[in-house]
Chain A
């Protein structure tokens, strides 16, 4: 289960370059997914396991349907969840990092969408 905690977090140092405000991400081209209520199941061909995205992580997945900058995601999540942008940015860094490492999300600059 992959989620992000928007409360009581300490900011990681340093912030990974992939979560610079201007960094843009989108769903991986080869990724399959399904909504189940508010959650999302993500599958990657060639891998046996699935990722389950819940809460804000599922909302972020929805946003990544098109290339989206981390600054945009933080703004939109801040308005949805009424949380501090710094806290959101930190959680987002972890989530994006994990999704990129699984191949579920790609940096838009890294190649054609």
Chain B
């Protein structure tokens, strides 16, 4: 059973590791992990994927470890790096099939971030591969992966959902390697408001294993880092926050272009959350330009959309409801609603441990509707008083 006091202490140390070597920060005093805290430190560090940064800190003398601690950290890092290399080998293996099918793709996060934004790729481990393809290519890209031995983890709710409203689908191979095939960056309203085509238009190249791959431009890398940090999980994870720090400090960022994209993709509230969380959680100071962009006014609609990702409503249909509000046109809204409420039985059957049930899905909407009616009645009663 984890001791909450040790967890708290370990958490503070892990946050310092997450900030190690951040541009514009001092090395500060060397960190020492007391033996009683080591299990909690190791557990939190590895769950937050910060082994590489811890090794870098230890190599620089900023983290002082006993021999046993060092051996344990190196073991964990070796495992993480072996997996990264396995993923990169698989990425290289995909290129011929995608080129043959004439499908362009961008490498999002993972190898693209590790090899572009960090001083050394070992600082930035990753567990899966995220590829972005154009919506028109999405289905063929999925078929290409399946022809290479991958299988789709979960079917789409109804035929046609992926290309109209979906974000991505996980494809797994026999080694357990997971490729998240995207057509937009995030699920929900922010994924619908952004324009993936702009990411293709501004894509840049990076080299890996003697081959050239496309990744996002530095501008869209920063936006993607902020979206992932702010919307990926609540509270934000430390590695995505560190990505925000690295992306904010990338040389040659065109701040006017960043601002333009933020407005166009309705991201002021997302930027604000990502920037404030990075500064607060990691104790770093971000460049003044990104702080200023994080302080811009956001609309009520954007703030409501963001709230759907943050509260416990997220797991109770909150993102789906926010998506519904962001979908333009009544017919498209009705179609989305029908996809969500009456998915195929095959989709329902992959929904976890619970018995497949349409009623359970409908009850989410029913509870939401009842709560709205109750709130409305309360407001009406108060205004009549």
* Chain A interface residues (CB < 8 Å from chain B): 28-37, 39, 41, 43, 45-46, 50
Contact = CB atoms under 8 A, between A and B. Distances in A.
B85 interface: yes
A36 B77 contact: yes
B346 interface: no
B82 A41 contact: yes
A36 B55 contact: yes
A32 B208 contact: yes
Given A41-B81, A41-B85, A43-B88, A35 B122 contact: yes
Nearest to B208: A32
Given A35-B122, A45-B89, 14 more contacts: A29-B210, A30-B92, A30-B211, A32-B92, A34-B84, A36-B78, A37-B55, A37-B58, A37-B77, A41-B81, A43-B86, A43-B88, A45-B88, A46-B89
B330 interface: no
B367 to A, nearest CB: 48
A52 to B, nearest CB: 8
Nearest to B71: A37
Given A43-B88, A45-B89, A45-B92, A34 B81 contact: yes
Interface in B59-101: 59, 70, 74, 77-78, 81-82, 84-86, 88-89, 92-93
Interface size class of B (residues with CB under 8 A): 20 to 34
B78 A41 contact: yes
Looking at chain B's contact residues, the main secondary structure is helix
B201 interface: no
Nearest to A45: B92
Contacts of A34: 81, 84-85, 121-122
Contacts of B93: 45-46
B248 to A, nearest CB: 25
B35 to A, nearest CB: 21
Interface centre among B120, B122, B209 (most CB of A within 10 A): B209
A30 to B, nearest CB: 4
Nearest to B92: A45
Contacts of B211: 30
Contacts of A39: 74, 78
Given A37-B55, A45-B92, A32 B77 contact: no
Nearest to B59: A37
A36 B85 CA distance: 12
Interface string B358-371: 00000000000000
Contact of B209 (A30, A36, A37): A30
Contacts of A29: 209-210
13 contacts: A30-B211, A32-B88, A35-B120, A36-B74, A36-B78, A36-B122, A37-B55, A41-B78, A41-B82, A41-B85, A43-B89, A45-B209, A46-B93
A45 B84 CA distance: 13
Contact of B74 (A32, A37, A45, A46): A37
Contacts of B82: 41, 50
B55 A32 contact: no
A36 B81 contact: yes
Interface string B102-129: 0000000000000000001110000000
Contacts of B78: 36, 39, 41
Contacts of B120: 35
A31 B84 contact: no
Contacts of A41: 78, 81-82, 85
A45 B95 CA distance: 12
Nearest to B89: A45
Nearest to A43: B85
A93 B85 CA distance: 27
A100 B89 CA distance: 19
Contacts of A35: 120, 122
Interface centre among B55, B85, B88, B210 (most CB of A within 10 A): B85
Nearest to A44: B89
Shortest 6 CB-CB distances between A and B: which pairs?
A: A29-B210, A43-B85, A34-B81, A45-B92, A30-B210, A30-B209
Nearest to A29: B210
